[in-house]
Amino acid sequence: MGTSLGDVWQDVLSVQPDPEQWIIVTTAVVALATVLLGPPWRVARNVVTIVHEGGHALLALLSGRQLTGIRLHSDTSGVTVSRGKPTGVGMILTVFAGYIAPSVVGLLGILMLMSGRITALLWLSIVFLAAMLVMIRNFYGVLSIVLTGAVVFGVSWFTPHEVQAAFAYLFIWFLLFAGVRPVLELQSQRMRNPSPQSDADQMARLTGLPGTFWVMVFLLVNAAVTGLGVWLLFF
C-alpha cells in the first residue's frame, strides 16, 4: 500500500487481481463457521449490528427523514432514531432495511470483488464507518465503530494486496452469510418475549400484515441474496 495520498488514491482506483480460488473457498468456510459457532458469532455479530443500523439510517435519509442518532449496545442490539412522518412508504422502507442490510451489502461487496475493486471496497467501508460515527450517541457504539474501522484501516494501509484480498473476501462472505441467523434469532425472541418494538412488529403496525409474515420476508430475501452471491462466485 502506498504511503502518500496520491498513492492511496491510485490504489483505490486500481483493479487488483483475483486471489487464488482456494483463498475464496477458505474464507467462505471460515465466514460460515463464524456465523454458525456461538463464541465467534457473539463477537462478530457486532459488525452485523453496525450494518443493520446503517441500513436503517441510510434508508431514513434516502426517504427524506431526519436522522437524529444511532446507538449500539454491548448485547449486539441497536437503535436508530429518525424524525418524520410516522407512517407511509418512507417509514416502511426505513424499518424494513435493517434485517436485509447485511446480506445486501454482502452481495454488493461480491460484485465489487468480482470487478477487482478490493482496495476500493475496504476504503468504502472506512468511509461508511466514519459517516456512521458522526451519528453515534453512546460510548459503546463509538468503541465498536472505531475498533472496526481501525481493523479495516490497518489491513488496507499496512498489508500487501494478497492479505487485503483474503480479508475482503472473509468480510464480505461473513456479511452475506450473517443475514439469516439474526432473522431466526428475531423470531425466537418474539416467541419467548414478544416486543412491539421489534422490526417485524413495527412492520406489522405500519402495514397491517402480521409480524411473522415480515420475519418470513426477511428470511426469504436474505436466503435469496445469499444464494445469488454464492452462485456468482462459484458458478
Give per-residue pLDDT as tens, 65-90: 999 999 999 999 999 999 999 999 99
- Can you give the pLDDT at residue 4? 59
- Can you give the pLDDT at residue 195? 83
pLDDT category, 137, cuts 50, 70, 90? very high
Helix (H, G, I), strand (E, B) or coil at 14: coil
Query: Could you tell me the sign of the dihedral formed by the alpha carbons of 187, 193, 198, 204, in that order?
Result: positive
CA distances from 147 to 44, 126, 176, 231 (A): 12, 11, 21, 32
- Can you give the pLDDT at residue 3? 57
Helix (H, G, I), strand (E, B) or coil at 216: helix
- Cα separation, 25 vs 40, in Å, equals 19
Mean pLDDT along residues 130-153: 97
Q: Is 15 left (phi over 0), alpha (psi -120 to 50) or beta?
A: beta
- When the pLDDT of each residue in the chain is averaged and rounded to a whole number, the result is 94
Q: Per-residue DSSP letters for 97-126?
A: HHHHHHHHHHHHHHHHHHTT-HHHHHHHHH
- Can you give the pLDDT at residue 179? 95
Residue 74 carries which DSSP code? Answer: T
| Alpha-helical regions (H) of 136-198 | 139-158, 161-177, 180-192
Residues 179 and 103 sit within 8 Å (Cβ to Cβ): yes
Whether residue 168 is predicted with pLDDT greater than 60 in this model: the reply is yes
- Residues with Cβ within 8 Å of 4's Cβ and at least 6 positions away in sequence, in order, are none
- Cα separation, 184 vs 129, in Å, equals 26
Give per-residue pLDDT as tens, 180-209: 999 999 999 999 988 889 999 999 999 999
- Cα separation, 76 vs 178, in Å, equals 13
Give per-residue pLDDT as tens, 93-131: 999 999 999 999 999 999 999 999 999 999 999 999 999
Residues 72 and 78 sit within 8 Å (Cβ to Cβ): yes
Give per-residue pLDDT as tens, 1-42: 445 566 667 777 788 888 999 999 999 999 999 999 999 999
- Can you give the pLDDT at residue 222? 98
Quote the pTM value: 0.94
